Chain A
Amino acid sequence: MEAYLLNLGVLISLYAILAVTLNFIMGYAGIYSLAHAVFFGTGAYAGASVALNFSASIFVMVPTAMLCAAALSLLLALPALRVRGEYFVAASLGLQVLAVTVFAEWKAVTGGIGGLIGIPPVDIAGFEIYSPGSFFILSLVTLAAVVAITRLLVRSSFGRSLKAIRDSESAALAFGKNIALIKTTSVVISAALAAIAGSLYAAYMSFINVESFMLDTSVLIMAMVIIGGTGTQLGPIVGAALLLILPGALSYLSFLPQTEIGSIQQILYGLGMAVLMIFRPGGIVGRGRAETGEGEA
């Protein structure tokens, strides 16, 4: 039981990092990305490769993972953000589909469908972190750091620029904001921070393959943000916890036919999301706002 809870705690922390970093662009810059699992995966593969071939030190693994994801996100953001925001969703979906193929086929780096196995545990200054308890603490601390960084950014002049662009692009332009550059920067930061979760995930699981980084993961992360509350500090964490606890909790309800648990889960998700969006469009943590700002002409 304790192992089960610790494992759940680790996964919630790592997914919360993903949700918090996606919320950073969704909630504050109004950029909707369906490619967040790609940066999660890039972080995981890059971190795993470094750990397998070079060093499992967290100070090598994590920065490499961040750099790789940041570079990849630039490839998405540079062309996609020159045009209007709506196209970003489509472009990110394209990247997601493309990346799954690459993850599955690029055997030399990703191990192909079989994935990478025997990834060593992460090493912090000579201490290997492999017990679930210590890894849980590591992932919690990392989550706290990511939350602190995004919070700092959101409250800085950079965060104000993001919110200004979200509220009115034309007014932001009229006050000298280089929208494409600001949005690109936010996407790069978001991707780099998501890659931290990826590299820790690889070290924690010691095995990764493409199945963890497919479109359904991107959708799951987005659902975590929306259900928890887009543009709130706590929402993405609540959303991540809820969506990861729910499957386990359902399997404890013995009156449910256990063979159908998967479909029941999907039905509950769908219903829950629809009901939530009707009654609390701002998410669980968000304020239920009926009014919206004046639209763009």
Chain B
Amino acid sequence: MTMNGARNAGETLLEIRHLEKRFGGVKAVADVTMDLRAGIVTTLVGPNGAGKTTLFNLITGHLPRSGGSVRWLGRDIGGLKPYQIARLGIARTFQDLRLFSEMTVEENILTVMEPNALPFRLSGPPLKERRARAGHVLERTGLADKRAVRAMDLAYAERKFLSLARIMATDARLWLLDEPASGLDPHSYELFLALLREEVSAGVTVCIIEHNLDIVIGISDRIAFLDHGRLLADDDPKTVLEDPALAAIYFGDRS
């Protein structure tokens, strides 16, 4: 199945209302209102500095918001700490990856399954199961023979896949992916798309920041267009991509 088109949107997972973030005088995110619905792949596009990453940081609690609200399954999550929001089932990647660079590839995966704060296990699957799951994820992302390598010693594409593997190992329902495919060679890029498709059909809801229009067209059910912090469009891909005004902003800024 493709990710485009014909699927029905499920319940609303995330409701963003009038969200705002000011850095000094600059409004990095200004009055953004949008929904992320279960099963839908939303692509967030917009020129550099449009506020895409900032929007993710507001959702995950990595930055405090200046105004507006974010609801997860109807519950206001604005006051929660990032680790609490993560535990609700919202996972993310970082534009600059932020791998656990001195840990091995396998440790990077194991540790995301181990949010315990105590030196002994209170809940969650035993180590053997975690290992098996990590092995499975590493197999799928092509990192199986790198499991004992430190993350910092990986090649560029491998790091991108480790970043993806980390969130594949969580049980999160919503994935926020910050430019996961940027700089990938064509082969890696195909593997990435295939993985994403599998995960989406397995029930994961994805919001992805992406600059490459081929990728945007290839995966989006919806496109949200951000510029100077404002949400200029949030619609089906065809409508957004064919809007000449948006194209002017997008390509104008990038030249």
Contact = CB atoms under 8 A, between A and B. Distances in A.
A297 B81 CA distance: 19
Contact of B103 (A164, A176, A182): A164
Interface residues of A, number: 30
Given A173-B83, A175-B91, A177-B83, A158 B116 contact: yes
B101 A158 contact: no
Contacts of B112: 175-176
B232 to A, nearest CB: 27
A142 interface: no
A189 B60 CA distance: 31
Interface in B94-130: 94, 96-103, 107, 110-112, 114-121, 127
- Main SS class of interface, A: helix
Nearest to B95: A297
Interface in A270-297: 291, 293-294, 296-297
A175 B107 contact: no
Contact of A175 (B111, B151, B152): B111
A137 interface: no
B98 A176 contact: no
Contacts of A101: none
B138 to A, nearest CB: 16
Contact of A177 (B97, B110, B117): B117
Interface in A149-179: 153, 156-158, 160-161, 163-164, 166-168, 170-179
A182 B83 CA distance: 12
Given A157-B121, A174-B60, A175-B115, A163 B103 contact: yes
B115 A294 contact: no
A158 B122 CA distance: 12
Given A178-B83, A293-B152, A171 B115 contact: no
Interface in B123-178: 127, 151-152, 166, 170
Most chain A beta-carbon contacts within 10 A, residue among B62, B86, B98, B110: B98
B116 A161 contact: yes
Nearest to A171: B98
Contacts of B82: 170, 173-174
B52 interface: no
Contacts of B166: 175
A293 B102 contact: yes
A168 B100 CA distance: 6
Given A163-B107, A175-B115, A293 B101 contact: yes
B114 A170 contact: no
Given A157-B114, A160-B111, A174 B119 contact: no
Contacts of A206: none
B86 A161 contact: no
B97 A173 contact: no
B152 A291 contact: yes
Contacts of B18: none
A185 interface: yes
A181 interface: yes
Interface string B217-229: 0000000000000
A181 B61 CA distance: 18
Contact of B98 (A170, A178, A179, A185): A170
Contacts of B7: none
A158 B118 contact: yes
A226 B107 CA distance: 25
A160 B102 CA distance: 11
Nearest to A181: B117
A189 B111 contact: no
Interface string A222-243: 0000000000000000000000
Contacts of A174: 60, 62, 82, 86, 91-92, 94
A176 B83 contact: yes
A190 B87 CA distance: 28
Contacts of A170: 62, 82, 94, 98
A168 B62 CA distance: 13
A161 B107 CA distance: 10
28 contacts: A157-B111, A157-B121, A158-B119, A160-B110, A160-B111, A163-B102, A166-B102, A167-B100, A168-B98, A168-B101, A170-B94, A171-B99, A172-B83, A173-B62, A173-B83, A173-B86, A174-B86, A174-B92, A175-B112, A175-B115, A176-B87, A178-B81, A181-B117, A182-B117, A293-B99, A294-B101, A294-B152, A297-B98
10 interchain residue pairs of minimum CB distance: A293-B101, A176-B115, A157-B114, A173-B82, A171-B98, A160-B111, A181-B117, A176-B86, A167-B100, A158-B119
Given A157-B110, A163-B111, 14 more contacts: A156-B119, A157-B116, A157-B121, A158-B118, A160-B107, A161-B117, A166-B102, A170-B62, A171-B98, A172-B83, A173-B81, A176-B83, A294-B98, A297-B98
